[in-house]
């Protein structure tokens, strides 16, 4: 992917991800946040957290299915925007919903299961956001970093549960998100299975190299 394409792609992501927030600020400025502004702001931010989180989770499956490299280049930025919206969503809950009433918030986290799992999802996203820099990738090492960042799938599952448990019975949106997440996880697992299969097919050839030459095995090119 060329430099110009990469810049255009990132500019597109910045614009798309900041637009919902710009609209919220605009509606607040003109006093058009519905009759229940706190609920409207919380729900709008929650919706966008979910959408951006799922979009970030869709990028690796997209690469698996198409072989294109560009989805990987967008992963970190989308992941950070998902965290940004989750933090705003949480911030509104702390400041506008509970006015920093810590005992009440703790009781809410323990009492309401949808708050418990929402909180867990946010806590899981925290180390991912904190280790998103190139420096942290180097410090942790590629493998450890990759393993840590698989936590994003757990955050996705918890986020869907959060929505399923808070939504009214019969409300369709959380089920749509659950179905999308299931498909994305399915593609991811299928990709991992396919890679393992290729690796295990390559292994006997490497073993033959050892017995034939008695030397260290040569690397077999991927099939």
Binding site for ligand HEM (CB under 6 A): 39, 42-43, 46-47, 49-50, 53, 86, 89-90, 93, 115, 118-119, 121-122, 125, 155, 159, 162-163, 166
Q: How far apart are CA 86 and CA 107, in angstroms?
A: 20
13 and 81 in contact (C-beta within 8 Å)? yes
The smaller minimum CB distance to ligand HEM, of residues 80 and 125, is found at 125
41 and 92 in contact (C-beta within 8 Å)? yes
**Smallest gap, in angstroms, from Cβ of residue 28 to ligand HEM?**
18
Q: Chain centroid to CA 106: how far?
A: 26
**Smallest gap, in angstroms, from Cβ of residue 215 to ligand HEM?**
52
Q: How far apart are CA 112 and CA 130, in angstroms?
A: 28
The smaller minimum CB distance to ligand HEM, of residues 79 and 118, is found at 118
* ∠ Cα 186 117 91 (to 5°): 115
**Smallest gap, in angstroms, from Cβ of residue 218 to ligand HEM?**
46
Q: How far apart are CA 116 and CA 46, in angstroms?
A: 15
Q: How far apart are CA 204 and CA 192, in angstroms?
A: 20
**Smallest gap, in angstroms, from Cβ of residue 48 to ligand HEM?**
8
The smaller minimum CB distance to ligand HEM, of residues 106 and 136, is found at 106
Q: Which residue is nearest to ligand HEM (CB)?
A: 46
Q: What are phi and psi of 69, to 5 degrees?
A: -90, -25
The smaller minimum CB distance to ligand HEM, of residues 172 and 215, is found at 172
Q: What are phi and psi of 220, to 5 degrees?
A: -85, 130
The smaller minimum CB distance to ligand HEM, of residues 59 and 159, is found at 159
**Smallest gap, in angstroms, from Cβ of residue 125 to ligand HEM?**
6
């Amino acid at each position: 992917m060329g430099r110009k394409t990469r810049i255009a792609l990132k500019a597109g992501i910045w614009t798309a991800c900041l637009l919902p927030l710009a609209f919220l600020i605009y509606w607040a400025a003109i006093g058009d946040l519905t009759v229940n502004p706190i609920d409207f702001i919380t729900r709008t931010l929650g919706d966008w957290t979910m959408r951006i989180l799922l979009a970030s989770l869709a990028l690796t499956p997209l690469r698996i299915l198409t072989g294109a490299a560009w989805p990987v280049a967008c992963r970190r930025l989308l992941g950070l925007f998902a965290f940004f919206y989750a933090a705003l969503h949480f911030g509104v809950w702390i400041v506008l919903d509970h006015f920093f009433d810590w005992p009440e918030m703790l009781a809410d986290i323990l009492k309401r299961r949808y708050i418990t799992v929402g909180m867990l999802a946010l806590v899981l996203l925290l180390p991912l956001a904190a280790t998103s820099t190139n420096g942290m990738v180097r410090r942790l090492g590629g493998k450890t970093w990759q393993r840590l960042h698989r936590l994003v799938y757990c955050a996705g599952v918890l986020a869907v549960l959060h929505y399923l448990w808070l939504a009214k019975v019969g409300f369709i949106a959380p089920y749509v998100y659950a179905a999308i997440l299931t498909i994305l996880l399915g593609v991811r697992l299928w990709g991992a299975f396919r890679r393992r299969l290729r690796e295990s097919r390559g292994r006997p050839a490497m073993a033959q190299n050892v017995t034939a030459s008695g030397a260290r095995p040569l690397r077999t090119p991927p099939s």
